[in-house]
Amino acid sequence: MALDIAFWILAVVSVFAALAVVLLRNIFRAALSMMVCFLMVAGLYATLGADLLAVVQVIIYIGAISILIILSIMFTRDVWQASSSSVVGLPAIVASVLFGGVVIFLTLNSRWQTAAPAAPQPTTSSLGASLFGQAGYALPLEISAGLLLAAVIGAMVLVREK
């Protein structure tokens, strides 16, 4: 019962944070709302028993991508002097109406489960064994990490001031 309540609280906060990302005109506050949305999605993964996905969500999306976006916003010149007259209203309204329609459609056409679901089992050990076991993907992971490092160094060389 407590897990169900936590799930619904996380889901509602996640939806409101996602709407804040779309509706806020201040780009820095929208990025912070995106971080809150990512954190709530990690909580949703944890309540559903996908513990590895929850940790990966926190490490990659909150720890890397969100921080990169916020640093990009902060280091961009003249982002604080940008005018707030951009038109955000119509796409946000259309997206909200479509989202509401999908939620209503799925709610009306779903069959609610009456029996209690089984307790979630940890997935970390089985996923770790399949990814990094005998026939795993350790080498492609290391190669992709090297390519990403080379791309970041190349981007830094290209954008440095003369």
Q: Residue 149, Cβ neighbours under 10 Å: how many?
A: 10
Residue 61 tokens read as 């999306």
Domain extent for 56: 2-77+86-102
Measured CA to CA in angstroms, residue 119 lies from 104, 122, 129, 161 at distances of: 28, 10, 22, 56
Q: What is the full per-residue pLDDT of the chain (162 aa) written as tens digits?
A: 777 888 888 888 899 889 888 888 888 888 888 888 999 999 899 888 888 888 888 888 888 888 888 787 777 766 655 555 555 566 667 767 777 777 777 677 766 655 566 666 777 787 778 777 777 788 888 899 999 999 989 888 888 776
Task: Please report the pLDDT score of residue 118 as a whole number.
Answer: 66
Q: Report the CATH number at residue 60.
A: 1.20.120.1200
Count of domains in the chain? 1
Q: Residue 4, Cβ neighbours under 10 Å: how many?
A: 10
To the question of pTM greater than 0.85 for the whole model, the response is no
